[in-house]
Chains A and B, each alone.
Chain A
Amino acid sequence: MSRSALWREPSVLPGFAPSLTATLLWLGLLVVAPLAVMVATAAGLGWSGFWTLVLRPRVLGDLQVSVFTALAASAIDAIFGFIIAWVLARYRFPGRRLVDALIDLPFALPTAVAGIALAALYAPHGPIGAVLAPFGITIAYTRAGIVVALMFVGLPFIIRTLEPVIAELETEQEEAAEMLGASPATSFMQVLLPPLLPALLTGFALALARGLGEYGSVIFIAGNKPMVSEILPLLIVTELEQFDFPGAVAIATLMLSASFLLLIAVNLLQAWVRRQNGE
């Protein structure tokens, strides 16, 4: 009893030990054990062995494709997501609730379904592809196709992070800026944007993390041409199919590290938000 009091605050509620045991067991079996084994496998490759596998031209080329497309998609999402979040948080208009519900479609729609739908839309003879073709714009089976797919899956992250923050921003702040003589542009840049920036960056980082790891919605619309329109997760699958297990593990470790870094960035951003709100 006295020992447990050192690491846990006493409570009259029962059930701490069994519920914690169940939680840790499930967590250990499903998350920690596979993670530990894969990290051990990666470590088994040795330092130079690991880097030899990571620095292969195809890996670097695909990495570049993945990073470029995810950055581009998150940036476009950030702009339009900002507008949509603003509209949802601030304005009341007919169909607002429908729009609000639709925002979560990319979360609810299976990625493979989204993938074939986007491919059909943007294919050269698809409804959108056919419109763009005369202008010499090809989306499907190029990097642009990957960007479109990643925009689809990333959009809700931006909107759902920003919307509550915008809703909590008092309209009085803008009015105060106006009363002090600020133009709408000044008011936006100096009064509105700064408090929203951490949330916008958080949403961007989340969309980016999702974009880097996304698979299902991309592979149908991407050309999957190595180093041109092939994403890193697809390379992992390819290597696994060719029974190149060490290669796949090396790439997966690289991607895991990237998502950890993004996760840490998001947490730091959240701490920043809390500090700013004086919490």
Chain B
Amino acid sequence: MASNVLVAALPALPAGGVRARRVLIGIAIAFIALFLVLPLSVIFAQAFSLGAGAYAAALADPDVRAALLLTLGIAVIAVPLNTAFGLAASWCLARFRFRGRGAIVALIELPLSVSPVVAGLLLVSLFGRSALLGGFLESHGIRVIFAVPGMILATLFVTFPFVARELIPLAEAQGSEEEQAAITLGASGWQTFLRMSLPKLRWGLLYGVLLCNARAVGEFGAVSVVSGAVPGQTNTLPLEIQTLYDGYRVQAAFAAASLLAGLAIVTLVLKAALEWRHRDELRATRRAHIP
């Protein structure tokens, strides 16, 4: 480590601070290497432990392909729905002041603090065969729990807050003056939304969609509770990884996991790029909450 570069820190430093600085930076980097980088790299190491051929074979497995397709399919349904919801919520919650607003904001954040397993159970208690609604649907031939609709609902529940919680503080910080100006100039509500609000919120929206998608693709606990866990039918990629791992097909499990890990890396890179390039615009959301 080149000492001078390492120490080119913000304030000019008294001599005693230099060593403390190096020690702290050292501890931070070591901890991150051990607890974050090592787990990430072991995924790829294990995935290729039997060579590239085995890796390709594992990914070519029809069950893995079906799981990948199901995972993407669920995300394609859940992410746009929750994005639309996030836009609607940010419009009514950030642009208007009304009674009960705080309660709605708190409810939107709720799924974040609910255990994924409990989230799954919530859906079972509403749509399960013994539940009122679930029994009614079942008698009409619609199966929700242990089937794909339940898995979509579970994904919707856990990814519910992601777009909304990015957009609300951002829209609040930006204020409504431009929208009001547009209205006084004769723009319609839709025109105002499409030409003023949407462009103003675009980076926050992208940020929220990114996080929403990452969670939708990776959700495990909630989906596992409501899934029938039938390989090739109701296994998403995370569930397929469990099936493979529990079946002692460790390398295949890691090969499937490497796809999700790759997606996580892409997400992190895009997220960092967004944060870096649009720092000022996104500051409001970064300040308002923890990712």
Contact = CB atoms under 8 A, between A and B. Distances in A.
A associates with B: yes
Interface of A: 7-9, 11-16, 18-20, 22-24, 26-27, 30-35, 37-38, 41, 80, 83-84, 86-88, 90-95, 97, 99-114, 116-118, 120-121, 126-128, 151-152, 155-157, 160-161, 164, 171, 184, 203, 206, 209, 212-216, 220, 233-234, 236-237, 240, 245, 248-249, 252, 255-256, 259-260, 262-263
Contacts of A26: 85, 88, 160
A19 B35 contact: no
B113 to A, nearest CB: 5
B117 A206 contact: no
Contacts of B15: none
A12 B180 CA distance: 7
Nearest to A6: B99
Lowest 4 CB-CB distances: which A-B pairs, in order? A213-B115, A110-B218, A8-B98, A216-B220
A164 B286 contact: yes
Contact of B290 (A31, A88, A157): A157
Chain B interface, DSSP helix/strand/loop, else mixed = helix
B72 interface: no
A112 B39 CA distance: 12
A12 B100 CA distance: 20
28 contacts: A8-B97, A8-B98, A9-B98, A11-B180, A15-B189, A15-B193, A22-B88, A31-B110, A32-B107, A37-B131, A84-B28, A91-B9, A97-B272, A99-B29, A100-B272, A101-B271, A102-B37, A103-B36, A104-B291, A108-B265, A110-B238, A110-B257, A110-B264, A116-B241, A118-B39, A120-B42, A213-B116, A215-B224
A86 B10 CA distance: 13
Interface in B1-58: 1-2, 5-6, 8-11, 16, 20-21, 24-25, 27-29, 31-32, 35-40, 42-43, 46
Given A14-B192, A252-B115, 17 more contacts: A9-B96, A13-B96, A14-B188, A15-B189, A16-B98, A23-B88, A24-B104, A27-B108, A34-B122, A92-B9, A94-B5, A105-B264, A117-B40, A213-B118, A216-B221, A234-B117, A262-B113
Contacts of A104: 268, 271, 291
A220 B245 contact: yes
A105 B36 contact: yes
A173 to B, nearest CB: 12
B205 interface: no
B268 A8 contact: no
B125 A152 contact: no
Chain A interface, DSSP helix/strand/loop, else mixed = helix
Interface string B190-232: 0011000000000000000001001001111100110000000
Contact of B24 (A86, A106, A220): A86
A191 B130 CA distance: 59
Interface string B254-274: 100100110011011101100
A220 B220 CA distance: 12
B162 to A, nearest CB: 10
Contacts of B43: 113, 116-117
Given A113-B218, A116-B241, A19 B264 contact: no
B267 A108 contact: yes
Nearest to B244: A116
Contacts of B142: none
A4 B286 CA distance: 34
Given A12-B180, A37-B131, A84-B28, A116 B92 contact: no
B184 A12 contact: yes
B169 interface: no
A156 B98 CA distance: 34
Contacts of B125: 34, 37-38, 41, 245, 249
B114 to A, nearest CB: 6
Most chain B beta carbons < 10 A, residue from A92, A113, A213:
A113
Nearest to B121: A252
A12 B276 CA distance: 35
Interface string B66-103: 00000000000000000011001101110111111000
A104 B210 CA distance: 13
B111 interface: yes
A156 B125 CA distance: 32
B132 to A, nearest CB: 8
Contacts of A152: 35-36, 39
